[in-house]
Structure 1
Amino acid sequence: MEHSTEILYNKTEVYCSSVHRFGSDALLLARFCPPKRGQKAADLCSGCGIVSLEWHDSGHRGPCTALELQPEASALLAEAVAAQGPELAHITPVRADLRAYREGEGSFDLCACNPPYFTAGFQSSNAARATARHETDCTLEDVCACGFRLLKDGGRLALCHRPERLAEVLAVLRAHRLEPKRLAFVKNRAESAPWLFLVEAQKNRKTGLKIEPDILIAAGAAMYGKH
């Protein structure tokens, strides 16, 4: 498959296309919620696999399921994993709909998702772009239901989303017995309004939310190497 290549800090390669590529939000999400080295993890709505590959680049070697609805995006990750040898064999690209996915339910330590952000407004005429940006095939409710289903008790679900939907995201997490535990806002500069937030919730845990320091793009928070 024709692709461009992005190279992460420790030389892990990410294959991208004009439609299936990644932004700083997905990279920040991966760095906000790194799994421990041997933990079982899932990258929901994985796209080209940036979250899975950034986790690997940072030292994760436990089983990692990269769940993606769109076949072209899943194929990009499969090609990247195959091309980089057995060291990446712990990442398993799975082309499936998270609304119906149940394999390994109750066994994951960590799930992360960079979900579609929008429920209304202009949609791209390109079906793949529209699916990635709008809740046409995957809603916030779907993501949280899947996370609850896959996680073990105490397991973590991490999301990135737009600040205007913060109240809704927290409410939907709690409605699915996923208790928000960490929250951080992403800003371009210290004096700017946030354009993204990152939240981590735990399955079947008590209340207690920690607000973490702002993540500043101007300070290099989203830098990565390019090839």
Structure 2
Amino acid sequence: MNNIHLEPLGGGLEIYVSESYRFSTDTILLANFSQPKGRKKCVDLGTGCGTIPLIWLRENKQLEIAAVDIQENACKLAQDSISRNGLIQMTVYNADLKELKGVLPFGYYDLVACNPPYKLGGSGIRNPESAKLIARHETECTLDNICESASRLLQFGGRFCICQRPERLADVMEAMRKFSIEPKVLRLVQQRRSKAPKLFLLEGRKGGNQGFLNVLPTLFIEDESGGFSEEMLQIYGDYKSNHME
């Protein structure tokens, strides 16, 4: 792996990242949107270098977390970050999210989160580097695979949180409902008021009744002057980085 280095995550936590395995603003927004409260059992599917679980633990140490990724190098980075920060609440599993039977207990978790590949398999310009290809294109898993896995892992009433591009909203909702997860909370994200939404954050409930989708106010990344909005500054907290996308 190239250019492995530490970046601060705030709260005294640091994370190992590399050229292939790093994080973006989307990752931090999903971690904030899905943040578990109290004693909860959580899974992060496709965890990469482990950013989302580390941010969860930055805010709440009363968690039991399983971080899953199919890529061995990503898992090693996440494991190194666990060791560096002394976090016993988080366990990394080098596994395929489509084949978790016998790896993680089904019907056990309160929360499953996933920052999935944004592009359909075979669409767009394919990145020749396998790590980035897996992260950006549905080469190893589809939305159906992700939602099916989340549904199996969650207990009744458990939360599934995902982020995606707005053009995939119907696809995500259809996949959720196919596997008994009802979309319940939606939030759109815009760079600024003059731009169309660039991302959505969606929470579904395992076994939830259909209907009554709560659409939250739009999250603006920038304010009118082009700096970070007040809400984004609150989300970032004392995290400082030059790698925001």
TM-score w.r.t. length of structure 1: 0.95
Q: Could you say which residue in structure 2 is the equivalent of 1:91?
A: 90
Question: Which structure 1 residue ranges, 5 or more long, are not aligned?
Answer: none
Give the letter for the 2:144 counterpart: E
* CA distance in structure 2 between the partners assigned to 1:109 and 1:84 by the alignment: 24
1:199 matched to 2:198? The reply is: no
One-letter amino acid of the counterpart of residue 50, structure 2:
G
Residues 113 and 160 in structure 1, CA contact (< 8 A), matched pair in contact too: yes
2:130 to 127, 131, 135: 127
Match of 2:225 in 1: none
Partner of 1:158: 161
Q: 2:215 aligns with which of 191, 211, 215?
A: 211
Counterpart amino acid of residue 98 in structure 2: R
The amino acid that maps onto 2:241 is: K
Q: For residue 183 of structure 1, report the CA deviation from its aligned partner.
A: 0.1
Post-superposition Cα deviations, 1:81-113, rounded to whole Å, max 9, x if no partner, equal: 01122xx11010110000001321100000000
Q: How far 1:49 moved relative to its partner?
A: 0.5
The percent identity for this pair of structures is 38
Q: 1-side partners of 2:12 and 2:220: how far apart? A: 24
For residues 20 and 6 of structure 2, what CA distance do their matches in structure 1 show? 14
1:127 to partner: Cα distance: 0.8
Matches within 5 A, 1:54-73: 54-73=55-74
- Residue 178 of structure 1 is aligned with which of 173, 181, 190? 181
Query: Aligned partners of 1:91, 1:225: CA distance in 2, in Å?
Result: 24
The number of equivalent residue pairs is: 225
CA distance in 1, matches of 2:213, 2:93: 33
Provide, for residues 150-185 of structure 1, a one-character-per-residue CA deviation record: whole Å limited to 9, x for no partner. Answer: 000000100000001111111111111100000000
Q: 1:225 corresponds to which letter in structure 2?
A: K
Which deviations, in whole Å up to 9, do the C-alpha atoms of 1:49-83 show, x marking residues without a partner? 01000101112421100000101011001001011
SS at match of 1:100: coil
Pairwise mapping of residues 13-32 of structure 1 onto structure 2 (< 5 A)? Answer: 13-32=14-33
CA contact (8 A) 2:57 2:63 kept: no
Give the secondary-structure state (helix, strand or coil) at the position aligned to 2:63: coil
- Contact kept, 8 Å, 1:187 with 1:194, in 2: the verdict is yes
CA distance in 2, matches of 1:92, 1:176: 26
In structure 2, what is the equivalent of residue 101 of structure 1? 100
Mapped pair 1:169 → 2:168: no
After TM superposition, the score normalised by the length of structure 2 is 0.88
State the match for 2:146 in structure 1: 143
CA distance in structure 1 between the partners assigned to 2:85 and 2:172 by the alignment: 36
1:34: which partner in 2?
A: 35
Alignment of 1:225 with 2:240, yes or no, is yes
Distance 1:187 1:4 in 2: 30
What residue identity is the alignment partner of 2:142? T
Runs of 4+ in structure 1 deviating by more than 3 angstroms, as ranges, are none
Q: CA deviation at 1:8?
A: 1.7
